[in-house]
Amino acid sequence: MTSTTDRTRAVVEDYLRRAAEGNPERIAAVYAEKVDWMVAENPQAPWIRPRSTRADVAGHWVDLAAHTVPGRGGFSIDTIVVEGTEAVLTGHLSGTVRATGKTFEGPFALRLSMDDGLITRHHVYENSLSVAEACTPDGGHHQADGPGQ
């Protein structure tokens, strides 16, 4: 018999495979119709906005691809912790904002919650300052400049 934790881990692994493939509709298919979606507000990042439905999730991935190019590392997962219907993933992400050509990077944590084999909660904690700076046109400081430049 498969435990709830094992089922949750299987959904997380499926989600990661789909995210790596990059097809917005396939990624969104592992989400419930209604989603508790939270990413720190970031007015400079056009892909970061409130979302609450499966269709919104697909829209996030469309917007992300339209506005960014994955960095050399893209995103990497360091740890996946699963207990019952909850999962927390930690790792590192990087990319380039198409409009400015500036890069962003940093650690992230992603909390996912499941219900009936679908993701119902998606809360991301990331380096929002690095993302905002990468979205700011020249004249603003950005991550790659380094200290004092």
- Which sequence spans correspond to the domains of the chain? 4-138
pLDDT score recorded for residue 54: 97
Phi, psi of 61 (to 5 degrees): -70, -35
pTM for this structure?
0.86
Query: pLDDT tens digits for 73-99?
Result: 678 999 999 999 999 999 999 999 999
Whether the predicted pLDDT of 149 surpasses 50: no
From CA 37, how far away is CA 109, in angstroms rounded?
A: 14
Sign of CA dihedral 65, 67, 71, 74: negative
Over residues 40-63, mean pLDDT:
91
Share of the chain above pLDDT 90, in %: 73
pLDDT score recorded for residue 42: 84
> Which tokens go with 98?
């198409």
DSSP string, 55-77: HHHHHHHHHHHHHEEEEEEEEEE
Q: Which CATH architecture has domain 4-138?
A: Roll (3.10)
pLDDT score recorded for residue 148: 42
pLDDT score recorded for residue 27: 97
- Higher pLDDT, residue 144 or 83: 83
pLDDT score recorded for residue 139: 60
**Number of CB atoms found within 10 A of residue 8's CB:** 21
